[in-house]
Chain A
Amino acid sequence: GIQVEQSPPDLILQEGANSTLRCNFSDSVNNLQWFHQNPWGQLINLFYIPSGTKQNGRLSATTVATERYSLLYISSSQTTDSGVYFCAVGSGGSYIPTFGRGTSLIVHP
Chain B
Amino acid sequence: DTGVSQDPRHKITKRGQNVTFRCDPISEHNRLYWYRQTLGQGPEFLTYFQNEAQLEKSRLLSDRFSAERPKGSFSTLEIQRTEQGDSAMYLCASSPNPGGEQYFGPGTRLTVT
Question: Chain A interface (Cβ within 8 Å of chain B)?
Answer: 4, 30-31, 33, 35, 40-43, 45, 48, 86, 88, 90, 94-102
Instruction: Give the interface segment out of B17-25, B37-45, B62-70, B72-80.
Output: B37-45
With a cutoff of 8 Å between Cβ atoms, the chain B residues found around residue A99 in the complex are 42-44
Shortest C-beta distance, B54 to chain A (Å), equals: 12
CA distance A100 to B45 in the complex (A): 12
- Grouping DSSP codes into helix (H, G, I), strand (E, B) and loop, the A interface class, with mixed when no group exceeds half, is strand
A/B pair count, beta carbons within 8 Å: 53
Closest B residue to A30 by beta carbon equals: B99
B→A interface (CB under 8 Å): 33, 37, 40-45, 48, 55-56, 89, 91, 93, 98-104, 106-107, 109
- Bound Cα distance from A69 to B99, whole angstroms: 18
> Contact partner of A31 among B37, B48, B99, B104, CB < 8 A?
B99
B107 touches A42 (CB 8 A): yes
B26 to chain A, nearest CB (A): 12
Task: State in angstroms the CA–CA spacing of A40 and B37 once bound together.
Answer: 13
Interface contacts beyond A45-B104, A95-B99: sample of 10 additional A-B pairs, CB < 8 Å, sorted by A: A31-B99, A41-B89, A41-B106, A41-B107, A43-B93, A86-B42, A86-B43, A95-B98, A97-B33, A98-B45
Option from B45, B48, B91 in Cβ contact (under 8 Å) with A43: B91
